[in-house]
Amino acid sequence: MEDNKTSFSIVNHSSSSSAATIFKRLMASKSAALTRQAYANDLRDFADFLGIESTEQHPLTAIPDTAWQHLDTTHVAAYLEYLKQNVSDKTGRPYSTATISRRITAIRELLTEAAYLDLYSHQRLHYLKERLTPPEVTHQHHAGITPNEQIKLLEQAGKQPGLKGLRDYALFRLWLDTGLRRAELASLKVKDLIVKHGIPTIVVRQGKGNKVREIGIESYTAHVVKEWLLVSGQVDNENNPMFCQVRKFGQADEAVYQVVEPDKHLSGAALWKLVCWYRQQANIDSQISPHSFRVALVTDALNGEAPLQHVQAVGGWTTTQMITQIYDRNRYAEPVARYRKTNLPRKELVQFTSGDFMAPPN
């Protein structure tokens, strides 16, 4: 809540920005564009919490290097508590443990850059690293998308008129086929849909860690993506984003959807809002999110006995540990007692009536 926010009032906004190098040094140390964007977004939120006014550029680019020595550990502690106690404006839900951990890490790295230049106390930095620890990261808050929910999602997208229906159906179908990270899907261009060895393939050029990978997709999925690209006109330029914004013009039966800003990619925030809108429209009770498509890919692929190495290559993971321990939601769903070799004696079952524990619903 707003009252929990603090103010980094020691900052003199009139100071020359020519001496503001700490944030720029941190950005320069990150080789991958997606990583730089993630750090910038997290630190923008921290700047907002500190009461630093936003500008056209990142707000921290205006903070003089000497100002960071006045940032106390209590500022960071207050921000950590704020993240633990409040809900995200974007999702309306509590901040995930992964988000909290990522944001605190970004702050620590920013202040580490300042400490390298003797512009931040090494003692304070040590305290932040050793004592102000974010909650342990858990991933179970990410719901998957069941097969029935996938059908409802696609059916609802197919009901949408004109270009909106074409785009959303193609987008969801491709997402379910590939399990792309939200930023990866948002960054796709027209030229990233190719045919290789007779197999329709998506080229992910902005993967995590700047890694490029190729993912084979179903011919039907490639067809619906091409249909959207052709009808929308995005196909006219191979550097156009694969998915862009469409807007409704007109009213009632005369309303039509048209492409707006064909050279501008759908943002990660736009993808989040799109998933939330369809979740409501399709009456899906699970709290699915963009990350749910990734969870669904792993669960469905392993249920279909896909080789673990194949799933690893598609998802862009460096090890299989994340797949088996976090993303495969059905891995340990069955009762472990079923492995028992001894047949235990059973007594006669009581016939439950309506209202009893575990009674079948009417």
d(C-alpha 54, C-alpha 40), whole Å: 13
**Contact yes or no for 46/64 (Cβ under 8 A):** no
Tokens of 74: 């209590």
Where exactly are the structural domains of the chain? 2-130, 147-292
Under the phi-then-psi rule, with left for phi > 0, alpha for psi from -120 to 50, and beta for the rest, what region is 283? left
- Consecutive sets of 10 residues in the chain, 362 residues long: mean pLDDT of each? 51 53 91 84 91 83 88 92 85 80 92 92 91 74 80 93 94 93 92 92 83 89 94 95 94 85 91 93 89 87 82 78 59 49 57 49 48
Concatenating the DSSP letter of every residue in 218-240 gives -HHHHHHHHHHHHHHTGGGSTTS
The pLDDT score that the predictor gives to residue 352 is 52
Question: Bridge-partner residues for 259, per DSSP?
Answer: 246
Q: Cα 265 to the chain's mean position, in Å? A: 16
Radius of gyration of the chain, Cα coordinates, nearest whole angstrom: 24
**Contact yes or no for 95/28 (Cβ under 8 A):** no
SS3 call for 268:
helix
The pLDDT score that the predictor gives to residue 253 is 74
d(C-alpha 153, C-alpha 140), whole Å: 22
CATH number of 147-292: 1.10.443.10
DSSP 8-state symbol, 197: T
**Contact yes or no for 144/328 (Cβ under 8 A):** no
